[in-house]
């Protein structure tokens, strides 16, 4: 392929992807506003009209901010690639680092820092304007900055050694570098599943053992019935940052933890909490987590193999506004370019991931209905939709691209039919 041909291909996919995302966002906004005036019949007895309208307004505000983010992201992408931003950055760093691995590492770090800085205004607006307007923000500016600094430090401590290993493999391990890099990456992902709950997450949030004895006994009874062993039940101080609530598993193997947001526990009844946990246990017992990990590993292997081919092709660089160095490594540049353009070429496949994810959600719901009263899960879901201002009327096509969970009405009807 020629560099001009690849440039044209990139521009065509860029325009199609951006256009599709704008069109989906517009559909979503119109659909939500069209159903704003009344609560869907199946939810009318439980969801007040004011809550439904708040969810609609919140959804529309987030989607409109998403459109602004799309526009800004498109400008940044073109600026880094076709307009020569990455080339200028590489040229500026070269006199300081010289060619080689150090230059490639510096390039990746500089790109990451610049990208983060360019995203800061929208991140700030999202947290302190949009979330604040709808009553969800509990974070102070100081905590926001502290989280950002800690995140950067943790990323540097973990990411820099990993990046050095990957770049060294790309440069020195031959044509099959991508296979060895995949082994390192997969091992790193598994290690993070073990370390995250006990080492990384406590740097940002406080985790305390569940103190409610009756609720703990109820949950332990459920875990015994389904054959699940956990390292503990913990409550996370999610209210320090947001009014949104959730529950999740963390860890891997014998290091599994169950974590509840304090905001969730304050809102749901004990039987509803049990039903929500039964859904999460369903993901584990039905091996959804293992299946997702396997898919993630398979995809990463395929993408690394593709990168192994692309990094040797001059048109891949020149077609994206970069002049590769002929007598030195271009591996860091290849990583950046690949990460930038991959979403442009793969966005159209997003519904395939949603189909699989939604199938798992239906199966986990059925598991929960088998081990608890399905009405408790329905009640909990309705409360969570209301508390998180999640719209009950998303545009179906938009939802198929962006939502890993089925729309509320589909999920609740599926639960009721499964239990009938």
> Which are the contacts of 159, defined by CB distance < 8 A and separation ≥ 6?
none
Listed in order, strand segments (DSSP E) in 251-360 are 257-261
Q: Are 371 and 278 in contact (CB under 8 A)?
A: yes
Question: Is residue 280 among the annotated active site residues?
Answer: yes
Q: How many angstroms separate the Cα of 25 from the Cα of each of 19, 36, 61, 183, 272? A: 10, 16, 11, 38, 33
β-partners of residue 236 are 207, 261
Q: How far is Cα 86 from Cα 93, in angstroms, rounded to an integer?
A: 11
DSSP class per residue in 305-336: HHHHHHTT-HHHHHTTT----SSS--HHHHHH
What's the CA gap between 101 and 171, in Å, rounded? Answer: 8
Q: What is the rounded CA–CA span in Å between residue 345 and residue 391?
A: 29
131: Cβ–Cβ under 8 A, 6 or more apart, which residues?
137, 242
**Of 131, 280, 376, 395, which is the active-site residue?**
280
Q: Beta strand 233-236 with 207-209: parallel, antiparallel or unpaired?
A: antiparallel
| H-type alpha helices, 35-140 | 49-80, 85-97, 101-125, 131-133
Q: Is 274 a catalytic residue?
A: no
| Number of Cβ atoms within 10 Å of the Cβ of 127 | 17
Cα 288 from Cα 311, distance rounded (Å): 34
Q: Which residue is catalytic, options 131, 365, 386, 395?
A: 365
By annotation, the residues acting in catalysis are 280, 365
């Amino acid at each position: 392929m020629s560099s001009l041909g690849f440039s044209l291909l990139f521009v065509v996919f860029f325009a199609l992807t951006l256009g599709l995302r704008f069109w989906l966002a517009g559909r979503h906004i119109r659909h939500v506003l069209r159903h704003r005036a009344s609560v869907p019949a199946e939810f009318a007895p439980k969801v007040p009209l004011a809550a439904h309208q708040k969810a609609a307004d919140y959804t529309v505000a987030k989607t409109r901010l998403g459109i602004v983010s799309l526009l800004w992201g498109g400008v940044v992408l073109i600026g880094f690639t076709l307009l020569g931003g990455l080339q200028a950055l590489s040229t500026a760093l070269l006199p300081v680092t010289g060619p080689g691995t150090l230059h490639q590492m510096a390039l990746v770090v500089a790109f990451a820092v610049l990208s983060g800085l360019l995203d800061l205004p929208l991140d700030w607006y999202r947290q302190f304007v949009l979330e604040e307007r709808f009553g969800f923000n509990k974070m102070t500016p100081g905590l926001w900055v502290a989280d950002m600094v800690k995140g950067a430090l943790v990323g540097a401590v973990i990411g820099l050694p990993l990046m050095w290993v990957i770049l060294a493999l790309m440069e020195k391990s031959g044509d099959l570098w991508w296979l060895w890099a995949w082994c390192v990456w997969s091992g790193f992902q598994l290690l993070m599943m073990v370390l995250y709950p006990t080492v990384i997450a406590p740097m940002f949030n406080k985790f305390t053992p569940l103190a409610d004895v009756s609720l703990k006994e109820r949950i332990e009874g459920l875990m015994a019935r389904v054959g699940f062993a956990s390292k503990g039940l913990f409550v996370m101080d999610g209210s320090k940052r947001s009014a949104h609530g959730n529950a999740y598993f963390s860890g891997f193997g014998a290091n599994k933890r169950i974590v509840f947001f304090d905001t969730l526990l304050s809102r749901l009844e004990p039987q509803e909490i049990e039903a929500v946990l039964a859904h999460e246990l369903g993901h584990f017992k039905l091996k959804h987590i293992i299946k997702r990990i396997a898919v993630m590993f398979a995809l990463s292997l395929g993408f690394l193999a593709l990168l192994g081919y692309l990094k040797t092709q001059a048109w891949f660089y020149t077609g994206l506004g970069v002049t590769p160095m002929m007598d030195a490594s271009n591996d860091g540049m290849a990583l950046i370019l690949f990460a930038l353009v991959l979403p442009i070429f793969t966005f159209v496949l997003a519904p395939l991931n949603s189909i699989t994810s939604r199938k798992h959600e239906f199966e986990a719901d059925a598991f929960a209905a088998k081990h608890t009263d399905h009405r408790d899960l329905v009640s909990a879901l309705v409360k969570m939709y209301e508390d998180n201002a999640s719209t009950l009327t998303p545009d179906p096509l938009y939802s198929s691209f962006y939502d890993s969970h089925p729309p509320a009405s589909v999920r609740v009807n599926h639960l009721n039919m499964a239990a009938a």
